[in-house]
Structure 1
Amino acid sequence: MAQPAVLRIIFGDESDSRKLHLVSGIPATTDDLHTIVKTSYQIKEDFRLQYMDTDFNDFMNLTSMSEIQNKSTLKVIYLAPSQPYVTLYPVDSFDENAGATYADTHTPASSLASSCSDDTLHTSTPHSSPERQSSTSSSWPNVFVVPKFTYEAEFELQQKDTEFEANGTYFNPGPKLKGVILDGLAQEMMRYTKYPKDYQCEEVAAALTRAHPCLGQLGSKTGFWGWKQSLKYKMQNYRTKLGRLGHPEIRVNSLKHKKEGQGKAAANIKKPRKAEVHYVPLHPKGESSESLEKERVVLLSEVKKRDNEVVIKEKMQKTFSSRRLEIVEQRPMIEDIQERWPALFHESEVNAEFLRITTKPLQTKFMSQFDLLSDKLMKILESKGGLKGQKIKAVLAGKDSESINAKRECILRSLVIYLNEDPDSFFKEYLESATEDAERDIAATVMGVYTVVSHGEDEPKDVGIVIEGRKVLQNIDSVMMAFIMLFGLIYALDLNYPDNLKYTFEFCQKIIMNLDGHKLNAKIQQLKIKLFG
């Protein structure tokens, strides 16, 4: 374990200065230190850090951790609201009738890596429309803020923190106080996920010891290992309680609700695996399974009407919880889902369903991030040597086309090759004259994107998506758009990534869409380092 350290933090003038105890020692990077200061003092505003420079005897902007030692003095400088700038992206996916825009906010010093953050402002977006899920759940925060505990607990912790600052004495809370702390943390974690991952429990435990340094644990390597393990057990107990109360997301994993042949409750656990926020949400207030089934039946007739998008969208939102429970619990075939939920298989509803599940926009975020990374990605792809490099160069030869969609497709196909996967096994192309052969091949396809072309014509006759041998979407504008829609359908239908393109989809999920990008496959990790290094 690193040697514990203490820093002096000044807020505004020197009349407001405080001690910051670093149980795990001086952090490795300035970003880590910035996060620690932000969470320890629960700072909501943007700020930068300055350190006291011994050469000039004045505060200088902190750019390297080599300037920081034990008992150094730092100063928090709040940034003026006018400093960030705004970049607008047009929205053409969720509502073609709305002049909506997405605005990504960045500081002037933002790097390419920072563009993949989720700090996005939305103006007239589906988040502020009836599409917004009524649940208070949201995606896992970049910085976990420790909640306030009961008055008695906060009072006792404040006293022990003061003692720790004075003489460095750590505090081992009794069972009652420890229970209050764990209950408060678990309830806050439940807002984001019912099944926290290892790194998430670790982030919460670290945030707790930063907010209350007296709770640090000298006997562990990190200083909070015991809290991390206790949180895991606490979350298990909470899930047990929720399961007894009939919470749908927990209930699908209950042994008595398993179908015959599914095995024990611990086997085949159905839980969020791709950063789904609303995996199996609760029914809307005042609704039941029976009332939502009636809404579904009404929706079947509404789909057949012309210019009825508003009503369809409203009813799809209302029946979201019923649809998710059916898809996750029963695992129906695609044919059955198409019959029961035909409205789901339209581009606008794929976008809307993805937003409901992840709270992130699909098409606009995917396109903007892919285009943002395309130049750097192309340099990496073009630098590849050997047989793989020759294949990539052959595919990238078409990138100079006047069509932006053709350029995107070339980069996407090259990325598949770079990740040691075969694009031809997933992206199928058929001649219009060979209809029978195409239909036969499509019927045997588990998952993929197909294109129908004619001799002598640049534009395809049809681009579509195949799942379980069925055409689920047709007449899509481009191969790139079909890939994005398939990515959305994988979430909407709770499917696994196809084995022949699993690394490509993981790259899109964790790098392009920034969904649960903490744990990466070695191939993706290496590519990420090259992209943002």
Structure 2
Amino acid sequence: MSNPAVVRVIFGDESDSRKLHLMSGIPETVDELHDLVKANFHMHQDFRLQYMDSEFNVFMNLTSVSEIQNKGTLKVIYTPLEEPYISLYTVEPSASSTLVTDSSSLASSSSDATLCTSTPHSSPEVHTSGMSTWPLVFVVPKFSYDAELELQQKNTEFETSGTYFTPGLKLKGIILDGLAQEMMKYTKYPKDYQCEEVAAALTRAHPCLGQLGCKSGFSGWKQSLKYKMQNYRTKLGRLGHPEIRVNSLKHKHKGQGKAAAHIKKPRKAEVNYIPLHPKGETEDSLESERIALLTEVTKRDNEAVIKTKMEKTFSHRRHEVVDLRPRIEEFKNRWPALFEQSEVNAEFLRVTTKPLQSKFLSQLDSFTVKLMQILRSKGGVKGQRIKRVLEISDSCDDVDLRRECVLRSLVIYLNEDPDAFFKEYVSTEDAEEDITATVMGIYTIKTQGRHEPNDVGVVIEGVKVMHNISTVINAFIVLFGLIYALDLAYPDGMKYTFEFVQKILMNLDGHKLNVKVQALKIKLFA
């Protein structure tokens, strides 16, 4: 494995640059580096990479990774989007009156022939999979032709005279509408930093829109975006959008007299929080599918059918989880198929658009060497506890045991108690007595003198929701996935550990960190 490296990546101009940590060193090919940049920064538009040439002191196209060194600089050059075009062609009367292309088409019939038009950019449809996680680099959308023309002219004036432009109500409305529609692709409830990123991106794309009288130069746009998004949510609520409707007054419980009380919204970077039902489906039809699932789970070798039905009923299940908040025992009886490792992974992917187990393990493994250095450097009583835990992993070559020891040590490092969460028993009887009083945790039943556990399972609200899991680390992954699938809060005694897993390992909304987690992140990426 190569030495870890870090490179600076520039997006657009010098004002927007970010660090890219290459824990496994510089990749062997340009394509691998391209994929790493794309994955780490959640980029959707195609691009090519340039590097800072030391001889000419300018950016040049990257053709070989040998041109890159640790602490070097890369620049992202976006590939221009294909311009929309229209194709006209005739279809014989015997042909079908409707022609469907790969993207979109419009057919109209006449007595002699059919005139068809097609464009490579189809009208957007609402799909669960169409949602995306918030991008690390927000790309300002194109506005209407006349708005873009006016902004281009004002940008030119700004470059020559330095005069800022205050748009009229109509143009400002067009700009805010365009930005709000783009933001809606990612979230209905943007956080403060997200509105700030969009406002900053707007003034970078159109410098003439900068604002005097504020330190950032865009705080007015930021505030206007918040109001615009609030207005958009009101419109969506009137149209019955489930993610907005769930917070309306008529859906509040007794005693919650304000719409702002107990807002149900994504808090852990969920992308599909309460999605729309599939086209042509209703609550009644999806409830029928749920009932059919109860029969399917009793059949052998039926994973494919179960997977299809679970995918189809996702929106119905999320409505039940978020809006109705059923007890875990009741929900498990209604959706037994969810409580399998494969379906927990699938549900996490549906909610966040990110893989669960593969991402967790690959990230944990990539950080293990540096994490163990940090953990071993801890002094005092906590340092002694960490040392005893890590000695267990040093005594054998079991990869899963090493992962478990790193996780337990991390819990201690963050000043939390692993023994209150990872509970060990020598008999099933002892476990059963304690499980009913456990709010959330992982249990292991291991007979004395035996290396392999008899059983490893997950407990939520005093209910053994899953058991016979192969390892403790897999049980932790399953529990993390169930927290998302069931829209649960992190347990108080483990909130820092789960925050580290969510925001550092899984890279889900890592902008605002607790002081403890932030300090660990700084050491980890130093």
- What TM-score results when the alignment is normalised by the length of structure 2? 0.80
Aligned to 2:87: none
2: CA distance, partners of 1:406 / 1:172: 61
Counterpart amino acid of residue 240 in structure 2: G
| Superposition deviation, residue 44 in structure 1 | 4.2
Report the residue type matching 1:523 in the other structure.
K
Aligned to 2:502: 509
Change (3 A) 1:427 1:153: same
Deviation at 1:216, TM superposition (A): 0.8
- How far does residue 455 in structure 1 lie from its aligned partner after superposition? 1.6
Partner of 2:114: none
Q: Does 1:181 align with 2:163?
A: no
Distance 2:407 2:472 in 1: 10
CA deviation vs aligned residue, 1:148-169 (integer Å, no higher than 9, x gap): 1011111111111111112111
Maintained 8 Å contact 1:45/1:78: no
Q: Secondary structure at the match of 2:256?
A: coil
Give secondary structure in 2 for the equivalent of 1:429: strand
Structure 2 runs not aligned, ≥5 long: 1-11, 21-36, 75-125
**Shift in alpha-carbon separation, 1:28–1:299, aligned structure 2, 3 A:** closer
Correspondence 1:414 to 2:394:
no
In 1, distance between residues paired with 2:19 and 2:138? Answer: 15
Identical counterparts, % of pairs = 68
SS of the residue corresponding to residue 222 of structure 1 reads: coil
Aligned pairs for 1:189-200 within 5 A: 189-200=183-194
Match of 1:319 in 2: 313
Partners of 2:485 and 2:467 lie apart in 1 by 17
Q: Give the counterpart letter for 1:517 in structure 2.
A: G
Q: How does 1:356-371 map to 2 (within 5 A)?
A: 356-371=350-365
| Alpha-carbon distance between aligned partners in 2 of 1:484 and 1:30, rounded to the nearest angstrom | 30
Give secondary structure in 2 for the equivalent of 1:145: coil
Contact 2:51–2:68 at 8 Å: present in 1 too? no
Q: Is the 8 A contact 2:210 2:218 kept in 1?
A: yes
Of 61, 64, 80, 1:78 maps to 61
Contact 1:464 1:475 in 2 (8 A): yes
2:402 maps to 1:444: no
Amino acid aligned to 1:463? V
Count of aligned residue pairs for this structure pair: 440
Matching residue's letter, 2:455:
D
| 2:387 equivalent among 388, 393, 416 | 393
Supply the AA of the counterpart residue of 1:511.
I
Task: Show CA shifts across 1:200-222 (max 9, x none).
Answer: 11111111111111111122101
1:78-227 to 2 correspondences below 5 Å = 78-80=61-63, 83=65, 134-227=128-221
Q: 1:520 to 1:357 in 2, by over 3 A?
A: same
CA distance in 1, matches of 2:47, 2:225: 29
Residue aligned with 2:47, SS: coil
Helix, strand or coil: the match of 2:135? Answer: coil
**What is residue 463 of structure 2 aligned with on the other side?**
470
Q: C-alpha deviations, 1:113-168, integer Å up to 9, x for none?
A: x9xxxxxxxxxxxxxxxxx9644111011111100101111111111111111211
Question: Counterpart in 1 of 2:285?
Answer: 291
C-alpha contact (below 8 Å) 2:128/2:276 kept by paired residues: no
Cα 1:411–1:31 change in 2 (3 A) is closer
Q: Which residue of 2 aligns with 1:96?
A: none
Q: Secondary structure at the match of 1:268?
A: coil
Query: CA 1:288/1:455 → structure 2, altered by over 3 Å: closer, same or farther?
Result: same
1:264 deviation in Å? Answer: 2.0
Q: Aligned-residue CA RMSD in angstroms?
A: 2.4
**Could you say what secondary structure the match of 1:59 adopts?**
coil
Counterpart AA for 1:324 = R
Q: 1 CA distance for matches of 2:247 and 2:425?
A: 43
Output the TM-score relative to the length of structure 1: 0.79
- Is 1:59 aligned to residue 53 of structure 2? no
* CA displacement at 1:29 relative to structure 2: 6.2
Partner of 1:489: 482
Amino acid at match of 2:294: L
Q: Secondary structure at the match of 2:163?
A: coil
SS in 2 for 1:165: helix
Give deviations 1:394-452, integer Å, cap 9, x for gaps. Answer: 111101222111111111100000000000000000002xx322211011101000000
Q: Distance in 2 between matches of 1:108 and 1:402?
A: 35
